[in-house]
Amino acid sequence: MTQRVLTTESGAPVADNQNSATAGVGGPILLQDQHLLEKLARFNRERIPERVVHARGSGAYGYFEVTDDVTGFTRADFLSAVGKRTETFIRFSTVADSLGGADAVRDPRGFALKFYTDEGNYDLVGNNTPVFFIKDPIKFPDFIHSQKRDPFTGRQEPDNVWDFWAHAPEATHQVTWLMGDRGIPASYRHMNGYGSHTYQWTNTEGEAFFVKYHFKTNQGVRSLSSEQAAELAGRDGSSHQTDLLQAIERGVNPSWTLHVQVMPAAEAADYRFNPFDLTKVWPHSDYPLQRVGRLVLDRNPDNVFAEVEQAAFSPNNFVPGIGPSPDKMLQGRLFAYADAHRYRLGVNHTQLPVNAPRTAVVDNYGRDGLHATRNGARHDRNYEPNSYAGPAQTDAPLSAPLAVHGWTGTHAAPAHTKDDDFFQAGELYRLMSEDEKGRLVANIAGSLSQVTRDDVIEKNLAHFHAADAEYGQRVEDAVRALRED
């Protein structure tokens, strides 16, 4: 095998990578040692800002294969024929902790999926829960601040966590999910994924439908108890990364079956729950799951930094036939996600290999900026319209228009007949077995009992009482017992 030659960043061969250049034997290092200075300067700049949320993540490549005809609902080309396959990249993550946090913790999991379609990249950004803690993006920074490390103590504080939830009764549904058995997945392979938000599909006739995505794991749902998770996190902080990597390397390729719930757009206004409220689900009895296809992960990234940390997902990356809904949290994320990547990775982050389209041709007037690699040829113009055969608009909207009416202002979300902050949390509690209820109560009480303010505890107990009388009483009794010890 021919020995490769070590070079500097400019391509010059390196004579000595073991010893710095000095003024004589044992003398001080010379400023002219370009190789040394380059290595140290690059080393100082190896890290980019980590994600504020979803910092700790793992990823894999795979494909999505259509198994059922959904052309009656959407004209999206990658869903246009049974058997059609589209390359994908997925990033799993925890939400609240930093890049150095453990995988096996009680926290929602990100489930962000990029489809490299022939019509451009489609990003579906979701979680392993079908709901979330809040319904309006203006509260998102406050929520995340309450879950992050306290500015003084430098750790996550139960006082902050539960104080925010005390003032956010709509969080009761997601808190019930988080503190239940599915709050700590055994691995990324053994959890479901959800689009969580409501999206719009449009068919070739221009008919609009609202949809929710459900990725059901074909490995079966498996979760960890708090005790199991603590042991695993102490033994291997990268447990979920290890599991995903080794499974794919062994050829045990994890897969999920995608189903959607489909609501004709005309039914949204009179549905019993606000269909665009991220703290609510659509009961399957109202809108049954309809199978679409399967997602298979079959290749690990070659470089975690280049392909997992630099992977950028944005829910405003739509393709023809798919678009947004009036979901307020989704509307906020249409801006926030793309803006986060422009900050972390630069305005040209879409040109990075993991983010660039595979088959679709990118042709626009974006120029310059940090790390620009696609800047046009000498005769290309960077304005539009022009007389030089530059790219032009299609006049074909990606999705159907959304009707709006009323006065501008800061409005609360419209109330539907069954809308309240507690009904669905109570329904979820009542679906649980007795053992599941016991673990849920113990998990909540173990955390809530650490809160130092009685009024914050009482406000949270009131939420559980409102969801279900038995639920509230059991949590109250368990908290009291722990505080009396």
Q: Active-site residue numbers?
A: 54, 127
Phi, psi dihedrals of residue 126, rounded to the nearest 5° = -140, -165
Question: How far is Cα 420 from Cα 411, in angstroms, rounded to an integer?
Answer: 17
Question: How far is Cα 219 from Cα 216, in angstroms, rounded to an integer?
Answer: 9
Please name every residue paired with 63 in a beta bridge, in sequence order, or none if there are none: 87, 296
Helical (H) or strand (E) element with 464 = helix 454-467
Q: Pairing relation of β-strands 199-202 and 208-217?
A: antiparallel
SS3 content of the chain, % helix, strand, coil (to 5): 30, 15, 50
The dihedral sign for the CA sequence 277, 142, 330, 53: negative
Show the tokens assigned to 277.
Answer: 């409220």
Do residues 121 and 113 make contact, with C-beta atoms less than 8 angstroms apart? no
Question: How far is Cα 116 from Cα 340, in angstroms, rounded to an integer?
Answer: 21
Q: Which ranges in 90-235 belong to alpha helices (H)?
A: 140-147, 158-166, 172-179, 226-235
Strand ranges, E, within 239-289: 255-264
